């Protein structure tokens, strides 16, 4: 801590959140944070994410001024032309430079051109398309070349991330980048069904996806809670199954075109035969049990399911998929196929007779029969079938894709049988796990039992943003910045696995993502202000609420569904827990600070911990007072009180460690038991700094055995 800050702390109470962030801030430069040169590289380079396959940078600099021009062979309106225009606009925005080039009208190379781009051909939005590029930067000229225009798009993102600054202005470091993705399928699933995501949500997330080189939007468009696409063939699907919240076909085409300009495929998912209640609101005749049906408001696995024994079911799907195949140009179409609840199949005598007649031994065999009929329809319209683990049955053709959500073993088993697969297990970003956990999760881990030939069948992976507990104002905070870590795992060489370095870079990339309009950072304070409402609140109290949110995390996994409240698609997602980030980076820094002190007993770290505990004591008392006055915040009072108890334990343990005097008999056991109580969720949140205090107690216990 600086002497100036120490002095201010002694004389005045700064806003608590500011003080705490200053105390916890890692010692990393804002313009250089990340050893992104690959294994063994010593020099720090600008924060790049994903890390390129190969990068060599020198100390020389390409200086940027207002005469900076970009040019190449692209005609106005082409994919690269638009990408370069976006690049120039973002460069101007980051530097404040009034760039002279009319880049929206002319990119013809001329005497002032300093960024030259070229490519061999227009890339196809298909798996295995070439996305490689080579970037050469010298002191006077930048060259970006690639086999396809997709490579140029990826290279432009890397170049913008290389932007650096010193006291003389902005520059790109001189050097060379050779880059290509490790996996060809790098996706993000967005669920627009359980909570509808307006067009602007999809667009801003597509822009953010492109900036970290993701290339597949997996769009979940039908579910028990809503059918979200206009169907002109079966209009009651969207008229009765969506609450009026659906995408018109023109809007779908708009998104597909927007994504195409970014080098991103759009693959639709229509979940069948289960997760299908919304289909039956308008068309109950295709269900396995008589209606009427209504849109499901709750979440989980429900009984409504398509009738595989009804020939009209397949006539319906033939017409439906013919319409959707013409709307969505991607060669792949996802049929879901997961979590089929068979109760209605068992209760339907027609279905039971059908199974007996066709020698279908069980419900798995019945679903396999259904999938075979759907596969024939999709093949008729030149679509390849994708589905979750459950779709696999012997006899399916080898060009289907199995998406693994239940475990990596399904991916291994599929590859051994010759099936292509993509991994989502371990990338469920709705579960509020850490970036580290996602980052170290690999579609092909170093100890993979697969042969080299089998490994080639693993196409990549997808982060999955299921929407039970997100709204349009919170969904970005559940996707970003953690999905950038997943993007790196799917693009960068396998040996790039330095977790601390990843977090350094992630913090910088997270801020850069905001230029695309994603609201993962800014909405937290807005939501907290709304909770406070018109109440008279001091700046110190508001800062305390912000600090409490910064060090709290929503409970992990599916725990929110089992803590008393029954969530539905109509429930408010505006409470304190919804404002908290899935992972507290402040808490992570605090835990590392405790780690450092325990390891070295460094006096500077001791003082930082002491100051932080003092400030957190203020956070606790102020938040308790605030929660007592504002009804919607009443539920966080126990959380704030728990923070006070946690601070008392941590401060006492720190004092004992510093004095090297052990506590009285029984104290440690009492504090450990209390800590177990403090771990219990309050307001559906957990205090993310608890492990730091736990480390202090463990160190104290080990030192006095």
Q: Tell me the chain's radius of gyration from C-alpha atoms.
A: 27
Q: Is the bond leading into 273 cis (omega within 30 degrees of zero)?
A: yes
**Residue 31 CB-half CA count within 13 A:** 13
| Cα–Cα distance measured from residue 67 to residue 46, given in angstroms and rounded to the nearest whole number | 23
Between CA 164 and CA 161 the distance in angstroms is 8
Q: How many angstroms separate the Cα of 160 from the Cα of each of 62, 171, 563?
A: 13, 10, 45
462 as an active site residue: the answer is no
Catalytic residue among 178, 339, 436, 701: 339
* DSSP symbols for 457-502: TEEEEEEEE--TT--TTTHHHHHTTHHHHHHHHHHS-TT---HHHH
Q: What angle do CA 337, 192, 247 make, to 5 degrees?
A: 110
If we measure between CA atoms, which residue out of 150, 250, 256, 146 comes closest to residue 210?
150
Cis before residue 280, ω within 30 degrees of 0?
no
C-alpha 379/C-alpha 385 separation (Å) is: 8
Of 705, 590, 583, the C-alpha closest to 650 is 590
Quickly list DSSP for 380-438. HTT-EEEEEGGG--TT--TT-EEEESS-HHHHHHHHHTT-EEEE-TT-BGGG---HHHH
Contact 530, 483 (CB under 8 A): no
| Closest by Cα among 180, 255, 184, 177 to 215 | 184
The Cβ of residue 455 has, within 10 Å, a number of other Cβ atoms equal to 12
Q: How far apart are CA 578 and CA 565, in angstroms?
A: 14
Q: Annotated catalytic sites, by residue?
A: 339
């Amino acid at each position: 801590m600086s002497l100036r800050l120490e002095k201010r702390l002694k004389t005045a109470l700064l806003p608590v959140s500011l003080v705490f962030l200053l105390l916890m801030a890692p010692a990393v430069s804002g313009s250089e944070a990340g050893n992104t040169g690959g294994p063994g590289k010593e020099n720090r380079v600008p924060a790049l994410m994903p890390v390129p396959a190969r990068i060599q940078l020198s100390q020389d600099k390409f200086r940027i001024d207002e005469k900076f021009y970009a040019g190449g062979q692209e005609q106005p309106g082409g994919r690269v032309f638009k990408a370069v225009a976006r690049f120039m606009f973002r460069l101007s925005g980051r530097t404040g430079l009034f760039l002279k080039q009319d880049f929206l009208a002319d990119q013809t190379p001329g005497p002032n051109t300093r960024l030259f781009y070229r490519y061999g051909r227009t890339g196809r939005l298909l798996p295995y398309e070439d996305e490689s590029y080579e970037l050469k930067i010298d002191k006077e000229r930048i060259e970006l070349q690639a086999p396809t225009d997709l490579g140029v798009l990826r290279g432009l993102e890397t170049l913008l991330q290389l932007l650096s600054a010193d006291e003389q202005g902005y520059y790109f470091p001189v050097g060379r980048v050779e880059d290509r993705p490790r996996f060809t399928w790098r996706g993000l699933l967005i669920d627009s069904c359980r909570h509808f995501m307006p067009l602007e949500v999809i667009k801003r997330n597509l822009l953010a996806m492109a900036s970290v080189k993701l290339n597949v939007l997996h769009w979940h468009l039908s579910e028990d809670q809503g059918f979200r696409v206009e169907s002109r063939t079966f209009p009651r699907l969207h008229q009765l199954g969506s609450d009026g919240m659906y995408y018109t076909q023109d809007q779908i085409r708009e998104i597909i075109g927007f994504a195409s300009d970014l080098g991103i495929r759009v693959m639709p998912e229509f979940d069948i035969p289960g997760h299908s209640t919304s289909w039956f609101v308008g068309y109950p005749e295709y269900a396995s049990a008589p209606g009427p049906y209504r849109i499901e408001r709750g979440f989980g696995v429900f009984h409504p399911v398509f009738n595989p024994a009804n020939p009209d079911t397949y006539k319906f799907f033939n017409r439906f998929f013919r319409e959707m195949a013409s709307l969505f140009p991607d060669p792949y179409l996802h049929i879901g196929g997961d979590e089929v609840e068979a109760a209605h199949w068992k209760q339907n005598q027609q279905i039971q007779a059908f199974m007996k007649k066709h020698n279908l031994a069980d419900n798995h065999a019945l679903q396999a029969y259904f999938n075979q009929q759907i596969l024939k329809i999709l093949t008729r319209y030149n679509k390849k079938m994708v589905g979750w683990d459950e779709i696999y049955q012997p006899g399916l053709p080898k060009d289907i894709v199995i998406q693994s959500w239940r475990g990596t073993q399904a991916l291994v088993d599929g590859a051994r049988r010759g099936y292509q697969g993509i991994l989502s297990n371990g990338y469920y970003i709705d579960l509020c796990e850490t970036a580290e956990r996602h980052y170290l999760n690999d579609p092909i881990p170093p100890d993979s039992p697969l042969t080299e030939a089998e490994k080639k069948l693993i196409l990549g992976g997808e982060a999955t943003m299921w929407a039970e507990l997100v709204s349009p104002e919170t969904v970005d905070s559940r996707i970003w910045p953690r999905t950038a870590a997943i993007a790196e795992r799917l693009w960068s060489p396998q040996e790039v696995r330095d977790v601390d370095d990843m977090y350094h870079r992630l913090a910088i990339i997270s801020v850069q993502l905001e230029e695309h309009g994603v609201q993962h950072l800014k909405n937290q304070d807005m939501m907290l202000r709304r909770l406070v409402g018109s109440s008279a609140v001091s700046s110190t109290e508001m800062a305390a609420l912000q600090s409490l949110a910064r060090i709290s995390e929503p409970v992990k996994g599916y725990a929110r569904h089992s803590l008393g409240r029954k969530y539905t698609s109509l429930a408010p997602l505006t409470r304190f827990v919804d404002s908290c980030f899935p992972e507290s980076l402040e808490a992570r820094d605090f835990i590392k600070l405790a780690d450092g002190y325990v390891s070295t007993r460094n006096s500077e770290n001791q003082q930082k911990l002491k100051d932080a505990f003092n400030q957190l004591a203020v956070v606790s008392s102020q938040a308790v007072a605030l929660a007592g006055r504002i009804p919607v915040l009443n539920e966080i009072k126990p959380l704030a009180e728990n923070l006070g108890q946690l601070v008392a334990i941590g401060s006492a343990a720190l004092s004992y460690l510093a004095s090297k005097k052990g506590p009285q008999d029984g104290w440690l056991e009492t504090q450990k038991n209390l800590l177990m109580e403090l771990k219990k969720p309050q307001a559906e949140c957990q205090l993310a700094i608890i492990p730091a205090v736990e480390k202090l107690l463990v160190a104290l216990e080990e030192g006095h055995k």
